[in-house]
Structure formats: structure tokens, C-alpha cells
Amino acid sequence: MEIIVRLDVMMARRKVRGRDLAAQIGITEQNLSLLKSGKVKGIRFETLAKICAALDCQPADLLEAV
């Protein structure tokens, strides 16, 4: 089983730029880019909660198991 990160899709739906989201949740643009590309081994629940609050979505909207 693999986890697919759909952060870029949700950002496009909400019309939010990476720079703005990174500033809002308190991480660097580079770390946000790594999250979007799925090149991270994990994510803190606190960071995931901040992303969900900023994008008004649920974790299942951002992560998909295939």
C-alpha cells in the first residue's frame, strides 16, 4: 500500500499559493514543496491540522491510500 499526497490538488481547488500557505502554517516554502511532492517520510499531526484548517478540509482530502 502507498500513500499519495493530494495537497497540490486541494491548494488548486482553494486557489491558495504555496508561498501563502507556507506563511500561514509556519513552515518554509521548501518544506511545503517536499510535502506536495510526497518526498517526505512523515508529517506531524500539528502541521497536518494547520494545513487542514488553512484549506478548510479534512486529512482524507489531502492523503489517499492506494
Model pLDDT, residue 60: 96
pTM: 0.91
d(CA 7, CA 16) in angstroms, rounded, equals 11
Chain-centroid distance, C-alpha 30: 12
Q: What does CATH list as the number for 3-65?
A: 1.10.260.40
Model pLDDT, residue 34: 95
The per-residue DSSP string of the chain comes to --EEE-HHHHHHHHT--HHHHHHHHT--HHHHHHHHHT--S---HHHHHHHHHHHT--HHHHEEE-
Q: List 65's β-bridge partners, or say none.
A: 3
Model pLDDT, residue 33: 96
